[in-house]
A and B are shown apart, each in its own frame.
Chain A
Amino acid sequence: MSGDIIEAAFEDRFERFTLNAAFTAPNRGITALFGPSGCGKTTVLRCLAGLERVRNGRCRIGGETWQTPDTFIPPHRRAIGYVFQEPSLFPHLTVRGNLLFARRGQPPAGAAETAAFDDLVSLLRLEPLIDRNPERLSGGERQRVALARALLSRPRVLLMDEPLSALDQEAREEILPFLERLHRTLDIPVIYVTHDLQEIERLADWLVLLERGRVIASAPLDRVLGDPALPLARRRDASVALDAQLAGFDAAYGLLELRIAGATLRVPGTPPDPAGPLRLRIRASDVSIALAPPGPSSILNILPATIVSAQPQGATDMLVVLQLGAAGEEGTRLLARITRRSWETLGLALGQPVQAQIKGAALAFA
């Protein structure tokens, strides 16, 4: 049991804030540390890596203890890969030299190892860059090399500190597909620091929410996004991100049929290649509520649901949590933002069966 979880607790007082962060997360998939800048998420990541040593810390990853109040394993003895915010390649080495740096000091490479090197180089499309100096690479290219370098050290966990935030939009779009592909093809748990909600919707499986040095939530992504008690659901752009299975494709209209717990949705898109899990994003402002199935409608996805909870938001709105599927079924939860006037006019109440009208469901990534 303890072999497949990440346990961390760090306590210390810093000049600008007090850190008192403890969380447990699964040791698989992508766990995102999310919060406003200055909340301590980078510090937590540096503590996990051993780059920062706090006065009172505990850290166990996948059955290996890295820190207790009495022991501290230095960073170079921890099986981590670390990707820094700004791509920190060694300027005195070529791309190849940077990649091989991660391999030195380890048992000599066998045939399988060499193949892994070549695979990674081609996965991240580094062949044309391999003999260049870092100064002649773009920001996005540098970060791709840094990512490959971190992976080549054969980490048991990959730590990433806002790896996209120092890049412009174009470079970001260049890297994100690689991260998604890594997510699907490599079996390495990732801890990912970010303050960008969009990156979380596309990448994260588990979310650790930080605020002023404290962890305020640590749970699966959809649970944190859809919890009206947490700040994410109260944002104007609140949405849920859902993992979906491809059930079919209507080529004539270009619509994917996607299955989520308790419902099947039709969403514009093309089938992914290779076939893998898909992720949907549904904004609270794109979901409305009807009491009965409406007549003929242009809305594609109208699904039976139950009202689980509701909270006033601001002066005019209600934030409603809906559970898809027939009553009693453990279906997917959605957020809907409706006006307080509609809530009262329709006489809505908790536990009430309704119809969720989803105006826009979109793939979080293609």
Chain B
Amino acid sequence: MPALSPEIWSAIRLTVQLAALTTLILIIFGTPIAWWLARSPRWYKEVVGTLVALPLVLPPTVLGFYLLLALGPDGPGGLLAQSWGARTLAFTFEGLVIGSVIYSLPFVVQPIRNAFEAMGDRPLEVAATLRASPARAFWTVALPLARPGLLTGAVLGFAHTVGEFGVVLMIGGNIPGETKVLSVAIYDFVETLRWREANILAFGMVVFAFLVILSVTLLDRRLRRRAK
């Protein structure tokens, strides 16, 4: 294996950091959203569900454009940035995290919501008749039973953030060590005709994507069999 340049290593490190942080945030905030979407009897939950699903169909440039406005000096993100003396959240790692969280939200929320819906009311009713409060039922019954969905959501969220390109280009630009993630680095290498580096990274991504999908499928099958 040829030695990778520090430039490439920096892009890999940055990508992994971004994807890991995004996934963590999405699991923490996406799980309650998924729970509410699965269990609430309110009709307007589907409006919220649609908002969550929007990044699936919107062109990344549209999302990136609005994020750019929101994170820029005149948007709420800029106001936030001023509180620690910066001028804007656009073209920063923090801004990239915010963008990734929104962009990957449906990939995490949907599998978790499906898992909560698939278990039905019965396990929670059983827990209630065994004196478990709704909170205890959530932690000790609903979450463990939704584990396949949580795992799928985490893996998809991570992988999708790794593969993100359009939004990053719009709000992150191409700053090495700060916003230059793998997908942007590949684009950059091609632009500058550095085919060898582009090849290495592109093939690496193909292998990564293959392994992710394969492991999700196998994991899902195993957990599903166990849950029966």
Q: A80-B129, A81-B129 are in contact. Are A88 and B123 (CB under 8 A)?
A: yes
Give chain B residues whose Cβ lies under 8 Å from the Cβ of A84.
122, 125-126
- Residue among A135, A149, A153, A159 making CB contact with B226, cutoff 8 Å: A135
Which of B125, B129, B137 is packed against the most chain A CB atoms within 10 Å? B129
Give chain A residues whose Cβ lies under 8 Å from the Cβ of B131.
76-77, 102, 105-106, 153
A51-90 toward B: CB 8 Å interface, digit per residue (1/0)? 1000000000000000000000011110011101000101
Closest CB of chain A to B213's CB: distance in Å?
Answer: 26
Q: Does A91 sit within 8 A of B, measured CB to CB?
A: yes
- Residue among A49, A105, A106 making CB contact with B129, cutoff 8 Å: A49
Which of A49, A50, A80, A101 is packed against the most chain B CB atoms within 10 Å? A101
Decide: B227 and A91 in contact? CB cutoff 8 A.
yes
With CB as the reference atom, state the residue of chain B lying closest to A133: B226
Closest CB of chain B to A283's CB: distance in Å?
Answer: 37
Q: Does A16 sit within 8 A of B, measured CB to CB?
A: no
Decide: B141 and A91 in contact? CB cutoff 8 A.
no
Decide: B126 and A153 in contact? CB cutoff 8 A.
no
Decide: B145 and A105 in contact? CB cutoff 8 A.
no
Give chain A residues whose Cβ lies under 8 Å from the Cβ of B125.
51, 75, 82, 84, 88
A133-175 toward B: CB 8 Å interface, digit per residue (1/0)? 0010000000000000110010000010000000000000000
| Count, chain B residues at interface, CB 8 A | 22
Closest CB of chain A to B137's CB: distance in Å?
Answer: 8
- Residue among A75, A104, A106, A150 making CB contact with B128, cutoff 8 Å: A75
Give chain B residues whose Cβ lies under 8 Å from the Cβ of A101.
127, 130, 132, 140
Give chain B residues whose Cβ lies under 8 Å from the Cβ of A75.
125, 128-129
Give chain A residues whose Cβ lies under 8 Å from the Cβ of B126.
82, 84, 88, 90
With CB as the reference atom, state the residue of chain A lying closest to B125: A51
Decide: B228 and A76 in contact? CB cutoff 8 A.
no
| Count, chain A residues at interface, CB 8 A | 25
Decide: B133 and A76 in contact? CB cutoff 8 A.
yes
Q: Does B204 sit within 8 A of A, measured CB to CB?
A: no
Q: Which of B110-165 contact A (CB under 8 A)?
A: 122-123, 125-134, 136-137, 140-141, 144-145, 147
Decide: B130 and A149 in contact? CB cutoff 8 A.
yes
B20-31 toward A: CB 8 Å interface, digit per residue (1/0)? 000000000000
Q: Does A92 sit within 8 A of B, measured CB to CB?
A: yes
Give chain A residues whose Cβ lies under 8 Å from the Cβ of B140.
101, 104
Decide: B128 and A105 in contact? CB cutoff 8 A.
no
With CB as the reference atom, state the residue of chain A lying closest to B145: A92
Closest CB of chain B to A46's CB: distance in Å?
Answer: 9
A105-116 toward B: CB 8 Å interface, digit per residue (1/0)? 110000000000
Give chain B residues whose Cβ lies under 8 Å from the Cβ of A102.
130-131
Q: Kindly list the 6 A-B residue pairs having the minimum CB-CB distance in the complex, ordered from nearest.
A: A82-B129, A75-B128, A92-B144, A76-B128, A102-B130, A88-B126
Known: A75-B129, A105-B131. 19 other contacts (CB 8 A): A51-B128, A74-B128, A75-B128, A76-B128, A76-B131, A76-B132, A76-B137, A82-B125, A88-B123, A88-B125, A88-B126, A92-B145, A92-B227, A101-B132, A104-B132, A104-B140, A105-B133, A153-B130, A159-B129
